[in-house]
A and B are shown apart, each in its own frame.
Chain A
Amino acid sequence: SGVLCCSLPNPRNVHFESINMKNVLHWSAPEGIGHGVLYKVKYLVYGVGKWIRKPECRNINRTWCDLSSETSDYEEQYYASVKAFLNGMCSDWIETTRFNPLTDSKESSSCSQIYRRKKNLLFYVFQWWFSISNNTLVVPWLEPGTAYCVSAQIRVTTPLLHSGFSKEYCIATLKDKTA
């Protein structure tokens, strides 16, 4: 049945999505195949001789598999592979590209920049950069009756990594009653 078995179209776009060192394997269902497809997943430490099956992702119908604990050693690099099954037929094993958890991981965000917008004038943005290591920040010298927006970014020094900036949150200071 080996020849028959491998006549199912292959899973597509098999790749790691890694945010804050949480490494999740994702893929798309085979072209033109509706419901009922099941999948198996295996992974390999690059340079080491054998593929290892992931039991929690055996005969699953979802199109992702969390391999964070299996790919947590950032001194190693990895491959993962997915196979699809339907009605006694199956696809080939389809591999990812080589995954480097150190450089292929994105960071979500928290190192702050604050900027200010004036409504009825020319719309311009001034920016203050603050590096903080805890999670609170007191910003002095704000102008009354002015909207300030904050967004944040993570920075890691070893290894040298930084995230994109978070969504911004804005708040207006109270009006100066004495003016």
Chain B
Amino acid sequence: DALLPTPQNISILSTNMKHFLSWSPVIVQGETVRYSVEFQGEYERDYANESWIPICECSLITATVCNITEDISATVAYNLRVRADVGTRRSEWGTMKGFFNRITTSLTPPLMKVIADGYHLFVELEDMGPAFQFCVLYWKKGQESRVQQKVVKEVSSVVHLDTMEAGPDYCVKAQTYVEAINRSSSFSQTQCVRAQGGTSMWLV
């Protein structure tokens, strides 16, 4: 059987600690091409005879993308490779150029909603998974030098920041922090609200 072409353009898109491997499709007229993915961590390379480990969720799949988040679970350099199959015909392994280390994931500012409920200042943060913590900064408008900070380690629901005085605006912004790679995102847009005497006011 003639060898299938090796999958090309193998690359990783990694955002907020979610890592996706993708590649260009192998075209075989009138046939359904299936792909299999394997990974190799630094441990396998240096201590386990350069062995590769199959990702069973991405074995003989027709898609040209694979979620490898679950397996990229250490801050070390990983290798990834893809192979194509059609019936009994099989390609060589196509290996991604260069290594992937999750430390290079891109971190986006968190989605955030600021809520004034009577005199209480709350913030609702997007749940981005167990790897994420949040640093929330809040201050009275005009008193930017007296910023207060709250670290939110577990996003369960709306978080109480402060009790507001009637009158001034209170402003809030937040960034994510991932301890496993010791990096932070940039800050979100600032949102400001004002205490509403006794009635709650959602910021729309």
Contacts and interface: CB of A to CB of B under 8 A. Distances in A.
Interface of A: 115, 118, 121, 124-129, 140-141, 143, 179
A127 B156 contact: yes
B120 interface: yes
Interface in B15-37: none
Contacts of A127: 156-160
A126 B119 contact: no
A121 B160 CA distance: 20
B158 A141 contact: no
Contact of A128 (B115, B118, B160, B198): B160
17 contacts: A121-B200, A125-B158, A126-B115, A126-B120, A126-B158, A127-B156, A127-B157, A127-B158, A127-B159, A128-B160, A129-B159, A140-B163, A141-B119, A141-B120, A143-B118, A143-B198, A179-B198
Interface residues of B, number: 14
Interface string B142-163: 0000000000000011111001
B57 to A, nearest CB: 28
Contacts of A140: 163
Contacts of A143: 118, 198
A118 B202 CA distance: 14
B160 A126 contact: yes
A141 B122 contact: no
B117 interface: yes
